[in-house]
Amino acid sequence: MGIGLATALAFGRRGAACTLTYKWGSADEDEVRRQFADAGAPAPVLIQADAARAEDAGLVLEQMRARHAHVEAFISNVSQAVLVGSLDDYSPRALFQTLQASAWPLVDYTFRIREVFGRYPRYAVGISSTGVDQFSWGYDLMAASKAVMETLCRYLNYRLFDEDVRINVIRTRACAPSRSARHSGATSRGSPGASRETRTSSRPGRSPTPRSPCAAVSWTA
């Protein structure tokens, strides 16, 4: 669960009641609960759901509504894309699937939360990467999707200016754990912050060498 789990643990350590979603087979529930217990955090609620499916989004929020009066913070960390090996992988369908899975959930869940709870989340945060303005092999469609999400973030803040909601997008990169403390910083006022570093390949045709993904996330009440 990577960055999503690390983010939830950061909230949990501050006493937040966390609900995490995951796709089938992508998480070990016992291990996730153990990490929360080790962190002294309240036990999380884990729901198997696909963030890109409207039906799943509705079910997740209805389950949350049964336990909570409102959503304080919504973190959209979902990322699914078609890896591009050549121009043969370019297609409208592949682009749409990537947008639907990696950009639209930030918008969709934010709106749905208002429908279900009667108010927007106080904070809505999307996770992006520096693939938007730096080259990463095979990242063509994902980078386009993240660029769309960052653009919509700016326009949503304009459209919802009079609402009690703060929408931000933060960028993360893969970096050595020992460097994470030196490469962290906040984004906008009142929002979580994250490292803006990213490791990408400098040569086309070669996959980036991933290291431990890190994001220094803080919470401002």
What are the average pLDDT values for consecutive 10-residue runs of the chain, which has 221 residues?
86 93 79 94 90 83 93 88 90 93 93 95 92 88 94 96 95 60 38 34 34 32 27
Q: Which pLDDT does position 52 carry in this prediction? A: 74
pLDDT at 55: 83
pTM of the model: 0.74
Q: CA–CA separation, 132 vs 148, rounded Å? A: 9
Q: Are 121 and 72 in contact (CB under 8 A)?
A: yes
Closest CA to 199 of 210, 185, 187, 212: 210
For residue 67, the model assigns a pLDDT of 92
User: Where do the DSSP E strands lie in the chain?
Assistant: 19-22, 45-48, 73-76, 123-129, 166-174, 213-214
- Look up the CATH architecture of domain 2-171: 3-Layer(aba) Sandwich (3.40)
Task: Output the DSSP codes for 22-58.
Answer: E-TTS--HHHHHHHHHHTTPPPPEEEE--TT-HHHHH
Domain range summary for the chain, segments of one domain joined by + = 2-171
- CB-based contact 142:150 (threshold 8 Å): no
- Note the pLDDT of residue 197: 33
The span from the CA of 30 to the CA of 101, in Å, is 26
- Rounded to whole angstroms, what are the CA distances from 139 to 92, 129, 199? 16, 11, 13
Structure tokens at 147: 């660029």
